[in-house]
């Protein structure tokens, strides 16, 4: 698929900028978008490079970037771009961050690329054709229970009103799971779940650019993605659970002890 190859090239352009700034930029070089939510010069320059390339390649497609890039096209397709997922990690020089580029046609994600520049590692997916890590097909893990699972999550720092609910879910999860990690890049958490590194992922109040590419990778790798009640509102609402089918069902049941999707309004 030409779109996947184009997204790879766009991600490389963004990564060149991020790597040039890496370990030179710090918190003093960033602005606060909202409480505990940072944006740096690197984010903006990376997004500009990615958007410029994709606009030239696909002039009829729409564009949506985390840092404000937007263009309306006529094709019915939208590129959804996170030019630096894990900005806080990046600014603290913690080496877990990525670039995420997804392509949505109508209501379906049809292609996705997540790039981890520090390891020069590409995760890719195309609807109906599978998900791959550096060209090798990925499959979600064969773990079948939360008991003994190795899971990923993210803290709801943008949604402080739900911290108590999240903590109750978290306490329930860690009483069963082998381990839970909060690495700080939702895109990579999703990609790693598709690759079978994590046995599942859950997080509250993410944005479309956080989940666009990674959600497709999980489903193309044999997993299930839903909102917190098992429905299909995860893209719009940002509450997402992604996991192998058996783990997913158990996580949904566990989360349902504490909250329903309808209660998690923004």
Place of tokens 């690495």: 183
Residue 217 has pLDDT above 80, yes or no: yes
Write the DSSP symbol of residue 47: H
27-54: pLDDT as tens digits: 555 554 444 444 578 888 999 999 999 9
Residue 203 has pLDDT above 50, yes or no: yes
Q: How many residues does the chain have?
A: 266
Q: List the domain boundaries for the chain.
A: 2-137, 150-263
CB 83 within 8 A of CB 14: yes
Using pLDDT thresholds of 50, 70 and 90, give the confidence band for residue 156: confident
What integer pLDDT is reported at residue 33 of this predicted model?
47
What integer pLDDT is reported at residue 125 of this predicted model?
98
What integer pLDDT is reported at residue 1 of this predicted model?
59
**What would the CATH number be for the domain defined by 2-137?**
3.30.540.10
Per-residue CA distances from 198 to 226, 247, 263 (Å): 17, 11, 27
Percent of the chain topping pLDDT 90: 80
CATH architecture of 150-263: 3-Layer(aba) Sandwich (3.40)
Residue 32 bridge partners (DSSP): 38
Which residues contact residue 28 at a Cβ distance below 8 angstroms, ignoring those fewer than 6 apart? none
What integer pLDDT is reported at residue 37 of this predicted model?
41
Q: In the structure encoding, which two tokens stand for residue 263, read together?
A: 């209660």
Q: In the structure encoding, which two tokens stand for residue 158, read together?
A: 């943008």
> Of 58 and 66, which is predicted with more confidence?
58
139-149: pLDDT as tens digits: 999 999 999 99
**Which whole number is the average pLDDT over 235-247?**
96
85-144: pLDDT as tens digits: 998 899 889 999 999 999 999 999 999 999 999 999 999 999 999 999 999 999 999 999
Q: In the structure encoding, which two tokens stand for residue 67, read together?
A: 């840092």
């Amino acid at each position: 698929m030409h779109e996947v190859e184009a997204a790879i090239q766009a991600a490389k352009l963004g990564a060149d900028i991020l790597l040039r700034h890496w370990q030179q930029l710090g918190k003093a070089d960033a602005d606060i978008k909202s409480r505990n939510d940072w944006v740096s010069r690197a984010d903006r320059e990376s997004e500009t490079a990615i958007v410029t390339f994709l606009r030239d390649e696909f002039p009829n497609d729409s564009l949506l970037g985390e840092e404000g890039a937007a263009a309306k096209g006529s094709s019915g397709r939208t590129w959804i771009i996170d030019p630096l997922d894990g900005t806080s990690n990046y600014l603290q020089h913690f080496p877990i961050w990525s670039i995420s580029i997804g392509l949505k046609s109508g209501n379906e994600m049809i292609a996705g690329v997540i790039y981890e520049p520090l390891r020069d590692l590409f995760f890719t997916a195309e609807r109906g054709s599978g998900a791959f890590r550096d060209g090798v097909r990925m499959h979600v893990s064969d773990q079948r229970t939360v008991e003994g699972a190795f899971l990923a999550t993210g803290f709801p720092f943008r949604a402080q009103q739900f911290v108590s609910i999240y903590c109750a879910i978290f306490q329930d999860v860690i009483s069963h799971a082998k381990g839970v990690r909060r690495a700080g890049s939702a895109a990579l958490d999703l990609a790693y779940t598709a690759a079978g590194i994590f046995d599942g992922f859950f997080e509250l109040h993410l944005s479309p650019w956080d989940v666009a590419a990674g959600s497709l990778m999980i489903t193309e790798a044999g997993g299930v993605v839903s909102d917190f009640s098992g429905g299909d509102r995860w893209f719009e609402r940002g509450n997402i659970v992604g996991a192998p089918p058996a783990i997913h069902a158990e996580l949904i049941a566990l989360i349902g002890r504490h909250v329903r999707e309808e209660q998690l309004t923004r």
